[in-house]
Amino acid sequence: MSTSKLAGIALLLAVAFSLFDGAYLVNETEQVIITQFGKPLGQPVVDPGLRFKVPFIQRVNRFEKRFLEWDGSPNQVPYAVSKGAVLSLIKSLGNAYAKEGVFVNGVEPGRALTDMVVPRFSAEHIADPGNPLGRYSDPEEVAEVAEVLLNERNTYTTGSVWSVKGATG
């Protein structure tokens, strides 16, 4: 094969590969952010369809479009995730060990007036706990719920989480 034919084939392959790397498809459930050397370029691409980028230099980063924006405090994200994991674990263990007669339940306490809570809040905050009952729980109230779940008469409740939060959900 002649050198000019090889150069032509190589050029054709380079152009095809560049076009292949330069085109990307956005589907309707995702959004795309294009980055160049790790820095975002422009606004996210949210409209579905065929799009083009600079080959080899720009990178396509895909994200679910259906994510909801977090409107809470950023330091609450790890708490919310870990709390959800614990609730899921209780339900899973309750289901897994029910046939063996092992009852796994949880108690989800709200703020109780304990030695840990009282020093952390102002008198105004303690006076208005912000729940529909208008008061904090006593530690004994939380203990009484745990006592019900641990009682030998509990022969049916498993995989559940009992809330003692003064109607705060």
- Asked about 156 being catalytic, the answer comes back as no
Q: From the candidates 79, 97, 136, 156, which is the catalytic residue?
A: 79
Q: Residue 113: which of 144, 129, 137, 145 has the closest Cα?
A: 137
- Rounded to the nearest 5 percent, the helix, strand and coil shares of the chain are 40, 25, 40
d(CA 30, CA 48): 8
Query: What is the rounded (10 degree) CA torsion for 86, 87, 88, 94?
Result: 100
Q: Are 105 and 159 in contact, with CB atoms under 8 Å apart? A: yes
Q: Are 26 and 32 in contact, with CB atoms under 8 Å apart? A: yes
d(CA 119, CA 116): 7
Give the catalytic positions in this structure.
Answer: 79
